[in-house]
Structure formats: structure tokens, C-alpha cells
Structure 1
Amino acid sequence: MNVMEARLARLSLKGDQGAFAELVSLYQDKLFHMAYRMLNNRQESEDVVQDTFLRVYKNLDRYDENLKFSTWIYRIATNLCIDRLRKRKPVYSLDAESTEHEGLDGYSMIPSDDRTPETELLLSDTQRIIHQAIETLPPKYKTVMTLRYMQDLSLQEIGDIMDMPVTTIKTRVHRGREFLRKKLEHKL
């Protein structure tokens, strides 16, 4: 897979539209699901996917073939999601519990156009509560928790995507879990 992606990237760099279209079809759904889990907004997620492919196309000449193509493209998409999350709401401190969103259920922050009867039924109470809790995490923890538990990526893959040492990722996963545990203690 990695060899094929590198070949497609090389062909795309040479102007092969077909090769680039293959890269898009390989990744558009995966990137959309990852973005949607981080942003909980269909329109924003679609925008992130589009922006990701624009950046990939513009920066193909910078692609380092020693890096897995998937790592590179996820890194771009993740950074775009983090940028949107930072612009969206205030940064939370893990030390000082913010009261700004007290009583505001995280689920209500999901735009109404994404709450169809089908999705309501699919989300069990437990999933919904966990989903709400993840929503309230600061972006740096929300990102690692989403990549780890919703995208099922390894600590090493997350480290590569975020361009951070695995030890930092481990710490963020641990702190993210602690943050969630405190949030969930009185809800579950």
C-alpha cells in the first residue's frame, strides 16, 4: 500500500490527474470520518477534506517519501481540524475546571442538521455521554483521544501524524483519559 501511495504521489507530482484522483478516492472517506469525529459538523468536515487535498496538491513536491503517505495526509487534516477547534471555542485548562459550559450538554453543541433520527438511535446513552465528554476536551487532548480511540491508530502513528515524540503522545492520552474519567464519574 505504501509503495502504491508513493507511486501515486510521484505521478501526481508529474501532473497525472488520474493518479491524484486515486489518492483522493483512497482517502476522502477516511479523512471525512476523522474530521467529523473531531469537529462534529458535516460542513466543516467536508471543508477540511477539501482543504487537505488542496494542500496536498500544492505541496506534493514537499512530500518526503520516507514518511508514509497516510501519515502525511492525516497530519495535514489533523492540523486543519485543530485550527478550526481553536477558533471555535475557548481553550480549556485541565487545572482550572471551566464553568463556562456548565449545564450546557456537549451533545447540544452538535449542529442540528447532523442530528437525524437514525444517528440518535445509533448513539446509545453511554456512547453519547462519552462523545459529549470528548467534545469538552481541549484540542490537544481531543486530537490524540480521537486518533487513538476513534481512528484506532497506534501511539507511534499518532506521534508521526502530530510530529511529536511517542512519550508526549502517551502523556496526552493519559491526561485525556484522566480528564474524561473525572467528567464521566458522575454521569455513568
Structure 2
Amino acid sequence: MKLNKYQHINDEALLQEFYADGNTEWIGILLERYTILLLGTCMKYLKNQEAAKDAVQQIFLKVMTEMPKYKVQYFKSWIYMIARNYCLMQLRDKKITYTLQEEAPLLEAEGNLAELLEKEKLLQCIENALDDLNEEQKKCITLFYLEKKSYRTIAAITGYSILQVKSHIQNGKRNLKLLVEKKQHTPSGKQPE
């Protein structure tokens, strides 16, 4: 199994290898590493094991075609976003193809879809606000919350002291909250009062 052979290499190093030589085997290792996460994400949205398995295969294909086009830095959060967007598109398409006799379950699914779309909007807002943080805060927040790294590991990766890491996370979290609130309460094109 490829995964065991490369388990000592972190995602960032695998991405660097891929961007250096273009060998898709590096992407394959990353996809193998996150297959269970993808399947779980797809199950959460699609509520059907076969549909979730099909979705994972489609996401794999999408990743293989999209990776060369973008400079991905945080694979786990990027692939989660790809999976979430794919599943939401599947739910939207499913909603369109329901027949009239399936209208009652559709109304129930519509409520769930509205909830999912609201969550998607919030996640997109957080993602956009994350880009507005300074580099230190963005890096620490991403490593801590998205990649589930410990303070000690983040300090080792970034070269910051543990106190600096804690400070960047605390300040970044506060700034992220303020940015999200500002983005949510400001109609597009209008300045906040």
C-alpha cells in the first residue's frame, strides 16, 4: 500500500514534489490519505452510500484535472471544499429532477438544502475572511483549526515560539470573527455604517 510507504511525508512535502515534477503519483498518495474523509463528507451531504462512493470517484477525477491549474497550499482544506461543493451541486441537481409525485420529500429536502446552503455561505465567508488576516495569523489558524496541528507542531513548522503561536491563534480568531461579522452584515457594494 502506497500510503504506508509515504506516511512520514507530510501533505506540504507531497504537494511540493507534485509541483516540482508533475508526477500524479504524489496526488494519488494524497487522495489515498483522505479517501475516508471524503467518503464521510459525501455521506454527510448525500445520505446514500452508493452516491457517496460515486461522488468520491468524481472528486478524484476533478482533483486530478484541477491540481495542475492551482498552487494548492493546504490540501486537506482544499479537497474538503471541492467535496462539499460537488455534493451541494449534486443536491441542487437532484432537487431539479424530482417529479411531482415526490413533492412531499422534496419539501423536506429543501429545508435541509437551505440549511446546507446557509452553512456553505458562512464557510465561504470564513474562507474569504481568512485571506484578509496577516500571514502569521492565517498560517497558525489554518494549521490549528483546519489541519488539527498542536501548538508544539505549529511552532516547529513555522519557527514561532509556542507563546507566539498561541497569540497568533487568539488574535487571528478574534480578527476572523470581526471580519466575518463585517462581511455578513455589509450588503454587497455598501459601506458599513
Higher RCO (C-alpha under 8 Å, 6+ residues apart): 1
Per the normalisation by structure 2, the TM-score is 0.49
Normalization by structure 1: what TM-score?
0.50
Higher helix residue share: 2
